[in-house]
Amino acid sequence: MADEKTNQSTRSQEESNQKDQEKKPNKHQISDLNQLINTINWLYNFQVSEKYKGYELGYFVTPRRLLHSVKKMDRAGYFLEDISCIDLQEGLQVVYHFDHYDSPGRIVVRTVVPRDNPSLPSICDVYPGAAWHERECHDFFGVRFEGHPNPGPLLLDPEFEGPPPLLKEESARRTMEQIHPERGFPPGMSMG
Amino acid sequence: MRNRNGTRITMDLDRRLQTHGDFYSQKFQTTEREDTLVLNLGPQHPSTHGVLRILLEIDGEYILRAEPVLGYIHRMHEKIAEVMTYPQFAPYTGRIDYLHPLAWGWAHIGAVERLMEVQVPERAEYIRVITCELNRISSHLLWWGAYINDLGAFTPFFYAFDDREIISDILQRIIGSRLTFSFYRIGGVATDIDDRFVTETREFCNRMKERLKMYKALVTDNFIFRNRLEGIGVIPFETCRKYGATGPVLRGSGKAYDVRRAEPYSIYNRFDFEIPVYDTCDAMGRYLVRMDEIKESIKIIEQALDALPEGECINRKASKRPKPSPNDVYFATEGGRGKIGAHLVSDGGRSPYRLKLRSPSFSNLSLFSEVAQGTLIADAISILGSLDLVIPEIDR
A37-46, A104-113, B126-135 — which is least confidently predicted?
Answer: A37-46
Mean pLDDT of chain A: 72
Query: Least CB-CB distance to A128: which of B115, B242, B345?
Result: B242
Which of B326, B358, B370 faces A178 most closely, judged by CB atoms? B326
Per-residue model confidence as pLDDT tens digits over B331-361:
999 988 899 999 988 888 888 999 999 999 9
pLDDT band at A24 (very low <50, low <70, confident <90, very high): very low
Q: How confident is the model at residue A184 (pLDDT cuts 50, 70, 90)?
A: very low
Residues of A in contact with B240 (CB under 8 A): 79
Q: Do A131 and B366 touch (CB under 8 A)?
A: yes
Q: Please tell me the predicted confidence (pLDDT) of residue B117.
A: 82
What tens digit of pLDDT does each residue of A136-153 get?
A: 999 899 899 988 888 888
Pairwise CB contact (< 8 Å): B244 & A155: no
Query: Which of B67, B71, B358 faces A155 most closely, judged by CB atoms?
Result: B71
Q: For A25-174, which CATH superfamily applies?
A: NADH:ubiquinone oxidoreductase Nqo5 subunit (3.30.460.80)
Is the pLDDT assigned to residue B137 strictly greater than 90? yes
User: Are the Cβ atoms of B71 and A129 closer than 8 angstroms?
Assistant: no
Higher pLDDT: A25 or B89? It is B89
Instruction: For CA atoms A6, A8, A13, A18, give the dihedral sign.
Output: positive
First to last CA, chain A: 29
B353·A86 Cβ contact <8 A: yes
**B233-257 residue pLDDT tens:** 899 999 999 998 999 999 999 888 9
- Determine whether the interchain pair B327/A180 forms a contact, defined as Cβ–Cβ distance below 8 Å: yes
Taking only the tens place, the pLDDT of each residue in B176-216 is 888 888 899 888 898 888 899 999 999 999 999 999 999 98
Which domains, from first to last, does chain B contain? 13-69 (no CATH), 77-395 (1.10.645.10)
* B241 contact residues in A (CB cutoff 8 A): 77, 79, 101
pLDDT at A19: 42
Q: Across the interface, which of A53, A84, A95 has its CB nearest the CB of B114?
A: A53
pLDDT > 80? residue B392: yes
Q: For residue A3, what pLDDT band results from cuts at 50, 70 and 90?
A: very low
Answer yes or no: is pLDDT of B104 > 80: yes
Phi and psi at A66, nearest 5°, equal: -60, -50
Tally C-beta pairs within 8 A across A and B.
Answer: 122
pLDDT of the residue at B6:
65
Render pLDDT for B142-180 as a digit per residue (tens, 0 to 9).
999 989 988 888 888 999 999 999 999 999 989 888 888
B328 closest CA partner among A81, A169, A40, A95: A95
Residues 136-165 of A with CB under 8 A from B: 140, 150, 152-159, 165
Report the relative pairing of strands B37-41 and A144-146 from DSSP bridges.
unpaired
Range 4-63 of A in CB contact (< 8 A) with B: 51-55
Closest-approach residue (CA) in chain B for A151: B27
- % residues pLDDT > 70 (chain B): 93
Please, which residues have CB within 8 angstroms of residue A138's CB and are 6 or more apart in sequence?
Answer: A144, A145, A151, A153, A154, A164
Q: Which of A79, A152, A165 faces B241 most closely, judged by CB atoms?
A: A79
Sign of CA dihedral B59, B60, B62, B67: positive
* pLDDT grade for A12, boundaries at 50, 70 and 90: very low
The count of residues in chain B is 396
**CB A86 to CB B345 under 8 A?**
yes
Alpha-carbon distance of A185 to B122, in angstroms, equals: 39
**Interface contact A129-B330, CB threshold 8 A:** no
Q: Is the pLDDT of residue A183 over 80?
A: no
The distance from CA B47 to its chain's CA centroid, rounded to whole angstroms, is 16
Read off the pLDDT band of A44 (50, 70, 90).
Answer: very low
The residue of chain A nearest to residue B23, with distances taken between CA atoms, is: A158
Does residue B84 register a pLDDT over 80? yes
- pLDDT of res. B108: 92
B60-77 residue pLDDT tens? 889 988 989 988 888 889
CB contact under 8 A, A166 and B353: no
Q: Where are the domains of chain A?
A: 25-174
Q: For chain B, say whether A80 makes contact (Cβ under 8 Å).
A: yes
Kindly calculate the radius of gyration of chain B based on its CA atoms and give it in whole angstroms.
23
CB A106 within 8 A of CB A192: no
Sign of CA dihedral B323, B325, B330, B333: negative
- The band of A170, judged by pLDDT with boundaries at 50, 70 and 90, is confident
* Most A CBs within 10 Å, among B72, B117, B237, B242, to test the A interface: B242
User: According to the model, what pLDDT value does residue B200 have?
Assistant: 92
pTM of the model: 0.82
Q: Which of B261, B345, B364 to mutate to test the interface with A (most CBs of A within 10 A)?
A: B345
**Confidence (pLDDT) at B5:** 65
pLDDT, position A2 = 40
Nearest to B330 among A55, A153, A180 (CB): A55
pLDDT-derived band at B129, boundaries 50, 70, 90: very high
Radius of gyration of chain A (CA): 17
How high is the pLDDT of residue B126?
92
Mean per-residue pLDDT for B17-24? 67
Looking at residue A134, what is its pLDDT?
Answer: 92
Average pLDDT, chain B: 86
Backbone angles phi, psi at B8, to 5 degrees: -80, 135
